[in-house]
Amino acid sequence: MFRLRLAHPSCALLPALLALAACQRPAEPAAPAPAAPATAPTPAPAAAPTSVIVTAVELGKALDAQGRIATPTAIFAPTDAFHATVTARAADPATPATATLGVQWIHADSGQTVHEDTRTLQIAGETTHAFHIARAEGWPPGKYRLEVRLDGHPVYSRMFQVQ
C-alpha cells in the first residue's frame, strides 16, 4: 500500500485555507467620500471708484522753492530728513474732487510704522503735496518703505535705505 506522508502537520491545513480564501466574497469597495459642495469662486473686490489719481511720488532730502523734491534719491544718511512729494489730479479735470491722501513711513526691517500723515484734499487740476519727517537722534540704518494711500486704499509703495 502506498502512503503519503506529510512533512509537517500544518501542511494539511494549507489546502483548506486556500480553498476557504477562494470562496470568500470580494471586499466591497469603500464608499467614496462625499464631494464638497460646489461653491462659486469669490470674486475679487471691485476697485473703489476714485475721483483723484496719484500721478507721481518722489523721495528726497530737501524741497526746492516750488515745494518739489530738489534731488530725488532712495539713499539717505542717518541725519537726513525724509521728504516725499505726492502729485495728484482730479480724475475729471472739469470737476473739482475731494480725497483723503495718506502717507505711512515704515521701517521695513522691523515692520514698525515710524510716522503716518493724512490730509483731506480739495483738488481742481493737478497739485503737489509735500510730506516730511525728521529725527533729532538720527535714523537707524536699514531699509524703509513709503506707502501712499488714497481714500484708505494703497496706491504706491517705494523702498528706500538709510546708510
Q: Is residue 100 part of a domain?
A: yes
User: Can you tell me the distance from the alpha carbon of 41 to that of 116, in angstroms, rounded to the nearest whole number?
Assistant: 36
Q: Is residue 6 part of a domain?
A: no
User: Which domain CATH number covers 66?
Assistant: 2.60.40.1930
User: Can you tell me the distance from the alpha carbon of 1 to that of 62, in angstroms, rounded to the nearest whole number?
Assistant: 119
pLDDT, the chain, mean: 80
Instruction: Tell me the per-residue pLDDT of 38-91, one tens digit each, with 9 for 90 and over.
Output: 433 444 334 445 689 999 999 999 999 999 999 999 999 999 999 999 999 998
Q: Is residue 17 part of a domain?
A: no
Q: Is residue 26 part of a domain?
A: no
Note the pTM of the prediction, 2 decimals. Answer: 0.67
Range 20-48 average pLDDT: 46
Q: Is residue 32 part of a domain?
A: no
Q: Is residue 38 part of a domain?
A: no
Range 97-110 average pLDDT: 95
Q: Is residue 58 part of a domain?
A: yes
Q: Is residue 41 part of a domain?
A: no
Is the pLDDT reported for residue 151 higher than 70? yes
% of the chain at pLDDT higher than 70? 69
Structural domain count, the chain: 1
- Residue 28: its pLDDT value, please? 53
Could you list the residue range(s) of the whole structural domain that residue 144 is in?
A: 52-162
Dihedral over Cα of 140, 143, 146, 152: its sign: negative
